[in-house]
Amino acid sequence: MSMAQVCCDSASSAVVVGAEAEARARARAGRRRRAGDAAARWKVTAEAPQGAEEAAATRKRRAAGGEGVPAKRHGFTSVAGRRREMEDAVSIREAFTVPAEEGKPRRDFYGVFDGHGCSHVADACRDRMHELVAEELAGAAQPESWTGAMERSFARMDAEVTASGGGDSASCRCEANKCDHVGSTAVVAVVGEQRVLVANCGDSRAVLCRDGAPVVLSSDHKPDRPDELERIEAAGGRVIFWEGARVLGVLAMSRAIGDGYLKPFVTAVPEVTVTDRAAGDECLILASDGLWDVVNNETACEVARACLRRGRDRWCAEAAAMLTKLALTKNSSDNISVVVVDLRPRNHL
């Protein structure tokens, strides 16, 4: 309601008192509060997330309303959504292997980590995973050896969070002796000039948009997936249906970093895909299940392509924001993190 409308209403009516006045006052306060929430929800900064500095302040900012990074080749959003706590983390590291591999082709790192139980495992993955991947890929020159390199990277990450216990993390809010009940999904993409390497552990997802159609580069690790169910039962575990399929009736995914109390039923071994880039590649979407639970692959690609067709430099950031807003509109109940990477040849820029 505009100020002009408020003034007209005041001039054309008698003074209102009692219950009706209180109701109008509450309505005005609600409108002001919603306007303030909407203005604070989308924050844009000039740089991608790059480390653990000021971890407590960063976590507070993310939980309060979210954050987004616009860039010419990528953009991301990460919001708490309808959850009270923010447990997602995003990592974007451009040319992350250059210092270790001078003179070799540029490769960029993108990761989405969806924590559960607490945020400290996802935060640790955000701060360390790219370093571990860079170290392992340094000794893996051929694509045939990349699967092993990613598996070693995830195993090292899992060992680190298990050993640390999370108690020293500024973001840790675990109860005493409960840090081994915390874990995180991890979907990681290494984008090179010729190939896209994706490693996934959990139910976050990577989708490539090629010639207007989605190409799924990862497979969700759900406990009732036939091969995952067989693996869990072979290890002596059980899948119990309690508000969906859950490992031992607890965890709604069958692979994750951390979750020491559920090993060996929940494993940190990722599934890895290597995809050759093609002329029709448009973008890569990495997102947590806060998006994928309510938005299918086809719709996600359509939204991203609609932003691409507008021809703006910041279309990746716009696409990430639009997908996040769409998930919120569809009543996603989880944290939502979305990364969109421009895969078109650089001469398009």
Domain residue extents for the chain: 1-30, 54-348
pTM to 2 decimals?
0.78
Enter the tokens of residue 238. Answer: 């059980």
Q: For the purposes of burial, counting CB atoms within 10 Å of the CB of 16, is it exposed (0-12), middle (13-18) or buried (19 or more)?
A: middle
pLDDT at 12: 39
Rounded to whole angstroms, the Cα distance separating 140 from 147 reads: 9
Inter-residue contact 110 to 191 (CB < 8 Å) = yes
Query: pLDDT means per 10 residues in the chain (349 residues)?
Result: 38 46 65 49 41 46 44 85 94 79 76 94 96 92 91 97 71 66 96 95 98 96 97 96 94 96 96 96 97 98 95 92 97 97 75
Q: Bridge-partner residues for 195, per DSSP?
A: 276
pLDDT at 181: 86
pLDDT at 97: 81
pLDDT at 11: 36
pLDDT at 186: 98
The DSSP secondary-structure symbol of 2 reads -
* Count of residues in the chain: 349
Inter-residue contact 334 to 87 (CB < 8 Å) = no
Inter-residue contact 106 to 194 (CB < 8 Å) = no
**CATH no. for 54-348:** 3.60.40.10
